[in-house]
Amino acid sequence: MSEHLPLYLVAFFTACVAIGLWYPLSVRIGLVDIPRGRKQHQGAVPLIGGIATYCGLATALLLLADSSIQPFYYLACSGVIVVLGVFDDYLDLSVKLRLAVQTLVGLAMTYSLDLHIASLGNLFGFGVVELGVLGLPITLIAVIAAINAFNMTDGIDGLAGMLSLVSFITLAIFMTLWGQQLYASLALVIAIALLPYLACNLNLIPGRRIFMGDAGSMLIGLSVIWLLIIGTQSETASFRPVTALWIIAIPLMDMIAIMVRRIRKGQSPFQADREHLHHISLRLGLNSRESLMLITALACIFACIGIIGEYLLVPDVIMLLLFLLLFAAYLYLLQHIWRIISHFRHKRQHNQRPRAIK
Asked whether the beta carbons of 65 and 186 are under 8 A apart, the reply is yes
H helices of the chain, in order, are 5-29, 49-64, 71-91, 95-113, 135-153, 159-177, 181-201, 213-233, 241-247, 249-264, 277-283, 288-311, 316-352
pLDDT tens, residue by residue, 66-106: 666 678 889 999 999 999 999 998 888 899 999 999 999 99
What is this structure's pTM?
A: 0.90
Distance of CA 308 to the CA centre of its chain: 21
User: Do 255 and 149 contact (CB within 8 A), yes or no?
Assistant: yes
* Model confidence pLDDT, tens digit, residues 290-313: 889 999 999 999 999 999 999 999
- pLDDT, tens digit, for every residue of 22-65? 999 998 998 998 765 545 545 689 999 999 999 999 999 988 76
Residue 114 has, within 13 A of its CA and on its CB side, a CA count of 2
Residue 325, pLDDT score: 95
DSSP letter for each residue of 336-350: HHHHHHHHHHHHHHH
**What is the per-residue pLDDT across 193-247, written as a single tens digit (0 to 9) for each?**
999 999 999 988 877 889 999 999 999 999 999 999 999 998 888 999 999 999 9
Query: Is the pLDDT confidence value at 266 over 80?
Result: no
Say yes or no to pLDDT of 263 above 50. yes
CA 175 – CA 189 distance, rounded (Å): 14
pLDDT tens-digit series, residues 175-201: 998 888 889 999 999 999 999 999 999
